[in-house]
Amino acid sequence: MTTKNLTVLLCVFLSACHSIDSIERPVIEFSESWQTPAEFKAGEALDRQWWQSFHSPQLDSLIKTAVEQSPTLHIAAERVRQAELQMNISGASLFPSLNLTGSSGETRSRIESQNAQTSESSRVSLGASYEVDLWGRLSASRFAAEASFQASQFALEAAHLSLVSGVANAWFEWLALQERIRTAQQNVEIAQKIYDIVDARYRNGVASAVDLASQRTNLLSLSAALLPLELQARQTRAALAVLIGKVPQNFPLGFGEDEGLMRLHLPYIAVGIPSDIITRRPDLASVEAQLSAADADVSAARAALLPSVQVSASLGRAASGLWSLNNATDSAGWSLSLAQTLFNGGRLRNQVKLSESQRVVLLERYRQAIYSALLEVDDALDRLNVGTEQEQRQQEIIAQAQRALNLASVRYREGSDDLVTLLNAQRSLFQAQDQGVQQRLTRLNASIDLYKALGGGWRL
């Protein structure tokens, strides 16, 4: 090979260096603070084990089991593995390919009225080929595969956050149902005591049969109210079992005395500032990685319009013998080829336009995802603040309803009030207690949603 040829090849290889065009990002005008008043410190990170802030050992155990056994998380992890393998496949195109071939055979030919002639041959050859990435098409494809791999990793983080949040929501829902069932059972016991009082007054001729029937109806209604709550509890327990990767039948679920819904710790959550959201949410990072992959796809599609350069070399040995290379002829050669598509019906140019359109869609999806993330944080903050205030007021309502029932019971026993007043007082207390449990559940769910909206302590 002459010096001139080596110089040409060297220039071609050096020109293979290519950089992806700078990635365009949507311009977002972030506010300096959230719409809902909240205490924050700029850049403050959440604890990645945020669910432990509720001080629920059973929740910790459920989440640990879910992370280990959940099919949803296993699927997301396998997709990461697939993306990594695809990245390795794309990277292989940047290296030369080597091919070793060998053959040996016999050929017989015969011309009419002549004797058959037999020829034997054996051959072995080693060939190498390399497509010079002159315009950066291969490196762009490799970059797209790397970005897709990163997107799958971020998607795995998002799936983990979604799974953990779902387990926490289901666990708190189950605790709330247990609390509501306990409250309903207590009210049934109260109704039974009132019924005994009315029955005694009826037998003594002080209360009427209408009073007795009314309280009996109230007792049966409160008992019937237990049935849908118990059904919801069984359904929630089964759904939680499936969520963590367990069979729903006979799934054991319990909690300690210090782990009831009303005993859970209500954590303080550092929300940071709106502009932090981009680096705190794995789903946003996944969309951004997909956008990077789309940018690389556009570059690869554009480069496909340009000529391709192929370098190949070969070494071989051939002999006129069967299974033998004695007295063989050696050969060696190399070639540099240039190929350019002249006409393909506009396929390549339409591919460029398609890649550019897909990139625009991803850019707008990224912008939309950021807006949605900001809305989710503000919504969770708003619900958390309102829920906290509502729960405080509800506790006052429960205290007053309990006081009213105590007074109504005494006055009815003394004959100062009628049964209707007593029944209304009991109904008001039951409704207030049940609403109090639901208010606590709403507040806890808002905390979970806020953790999730802020990325659950994940950082880019």
What is the band of 17 on the pLDDT scale with cuts at 50, 70, 90?
A: very low
pLDDT digits (tens, 9 = 90+) for 202-237: 898 888 899 889 889 989 998 998 999 999 999 999
Query: 160 vs 191, which has greater pLDDT?
Result: 160
**71, burial (CB in 10 Å: exposed 0-12, middle 13-18, buried 19+):** exposed
For residues 451-460, give the mean pLDDT: 90
For residues 4-17, give the mean pLDDT: 38
| Domain boundaries defined on the chain | 31-97+135-307+349-453
For residues 238-256, give the mean pLDDT: 86
For residues 13-32, give the mean pLDDT: 59
In this model, does residue 19 exceed pLDDT 50?
no
Of 200, 363, 211, nearest in space to 295 by CA: 363
Q: Which residues pair with 129 in a beta bridge?
A: 97, 312
What pLDDT, on a 0 to 100 scale, did the predictor assign at position 412?
81
In this model, does residue 52 exceed pLDDT 50?
yes
CATH of the domain spanning 31-97+135-307+349-453, picked from 2.60.120.700, 1.20.1600.10, 3.30.200.20, 1.10.150.120:
1.20.1600.10
Of 355, 289, 299, 359, nearest in space to 146 by CA: 289
What pLDDT, on a 0 to 100 scale, did the predictor assign at position 403?
94
H-type alpha helices, 204-243: 209-224, 226-243
What pLDDT, on a 0 to 100 scale, did the predictor assign at position 113?
65
Q: How far apart are CA 390 and CA 436, in angstroms?
A: 9
Average pLDDT, the chain: 86
What is the band of 5 on the pLDDT scale with cuts at 50, 70, 90?
A: very low
What pLDDT, on a 0 to 100 scale, did the predictor assign at position 161?
95
Query: 299 vs 166, which has greater pLDDT?
Result: 166
In this model, does residue 252 exceed pLDDT 90?
no
pLDDT digits (tens, 9 = 90+) for 218-227: 899 989 989 9
Q: How far apart are CA 144 and CA 214, in angstroms?
A: 73
What is the band of 257 on the pLDDT scale with cuts at 50, 70, 90?
A: low
What is the band of 23 on the pLDDT scale with cuts at 50, 70, 90?
A: low
In this model, does residue 1 exceed pLDDT 70?
no
pLDDT digits (tens, 9 = 90+) for 62-108: 999 999 999 989 999 999 999 999 899 888 888 888 999 998 888 88
In this model, does residue 43 exceed pLDDT 60?
no
* Helix (H), strand (E) at residue 101: strand 97-109
What pLDDT, on a 0 to 100 scale, did the predictor assign at position 253?
84
